[in-house]
Homo-oligomer: A and B are copies of this chain.
Amino acid sequence: MSFAPLDIAHPYLLFLGDAPDALAAKTARGVAQFRPEWCLGQWRLPDCKADLGLPELDAAAAAALGARTMIVGVANAGGLLPEHWQGALIEALESGMDLASGLHAKLTDLPAVAAAAQRLGRQLHDVRHPRQDYPVGKGRLRSGKRLLTVGTDCSVGKMYTSLALEKELRARGVKADFRATGQTGILIAGCGVSVDAVVADFMSGAIEAITPDNEPDHWDLIEGQGSLFHASYAGVSLALLHGSAPDALVLCHEPKRRHMRGLPHYSLPGLKECAEANLAAARLTNRNVRLVGASLNTSNLEPAERLAALAEAEGELGVPAVDPLVTGAARIVDEL
């Protein structure tokens, strides 16, 4: 059924279920924002409070328009797949679509859904749960170029920054591919690996597998995870640095973050300290790695504060600082 390498067929129908608010549908919003050309519509159940402004379609209507996968793009309390969604999930399968979900609960653990997929020959993509076996990392430099986003903390804009860089490079005619390492990123890319769900021994090998040899002028834009300074997840971040063997790093940061996410007793590292630690670790597998930019999430700042924060980061790090959603990522791409 779904032991094939993760490769999600598009276009998509975005299933929003009965999302209690807009935030619950943030996975679907990310997909709609970065892959609008793949998103034919949204399917909302009664009481759904999220709205992405896409055409309202049910399974049959979406399939008739050519949708190949329905994305479960909504988070429920506890990451569960509630009983009352099952009818819609099975309807999608029966209409000819595969299913993909970024939730912790697995589609394959729902007996009626799994049976329908089996019977109909459809794929079930539980993108948080790697099904493939990955090799142990080899630390070998590959051809082609690689950029990894790193951060002072979790959830500071590493995925958005990687996608903005891909967009800017492609707009300039440069061969570039976003490489997804988390569930939302995988739904946006249509492939990738949820690296924090991989068995520890194979973390760096999984990253090597999704960033193989490529054309000399091709860029992989690799989505970072966590932070070397996050006590819960730093091991994942280090494996990403080593597996990526990056030529370039972009340091991501949210200026008003008060403490490390989930760890109120930990403060954030300084930008300079964080950049140097990441460069030192990255040199193990690519001695020519360099910092090419900083990316700040300034959505909580006033315009004057934003300019000050960007200028301060540039002064501290000596590289261009951008907020990709406000200023674009062009100044970083100029550095590549």
Residues of A within 8 A of B (CB): 136-140, 195-201, 203-205, 228-229, 231-239, 242, 262-263, 265-266, 277, 280-281, 284-285
Q: What residues of chain B lie closer than 8 Å to A198, measured between beta carbons?
A: 199-200
> Looking across the interface, which residue of chain B has its beta carbon closest to that of A236?
B200
B239 touches A235 (CB 8 A): yes
Q: List 28 A-B contacts (CB under 8 A).
A: A136-B262, A137-B231, A138-B231, A138-B232, A139-B231, A196-B199, A196-B200, A197-B200, A198-B200, A199-B199, A200-B203, A200-B235, A200-B236, A201-B232, A201-B236, A203-B236, A204-B231, A204-B233, A204-B235, A229-B284, A231-B242, A234-B239, A234-B284, A235-B235, A235-B237, A235-B242, A238-B238, A277-B280
What's the least CB distance linking A32 to chain B, in Å? 27
Docked Cα-Cα span, A144 to B198, in Å, equals: 32
Q: What residues of chain B lie closer than 8 Å to A136, measured between beta carbons?
A: 232-233, 262
What's the least CB distance linking A149 to chain B, in Å? 17
Copies of this protein in the assembly total 2
Name the residue among A232, A238, A266 with the largest chain B CB count within 10 angstroms: A232
A196 touches B201 (CB 8 A): yes
Q: What residues of chain B lie closer than 8 Å to A285, measured between beta carbons?
A: 231
B229 touches A204 (CB 8 A): no
B137 touches A201 (CB 8 A): no
What's the least CB distance linking A196 to chain B, in Å? 4
> Looking across the interface, which residue of chain B has its beta carbon closest to that of A235?
B239
**Given known contacts A231-B284, A284-B229, A284-B231, is B200 in contact with A139 (CB within 8 Å)?**
no
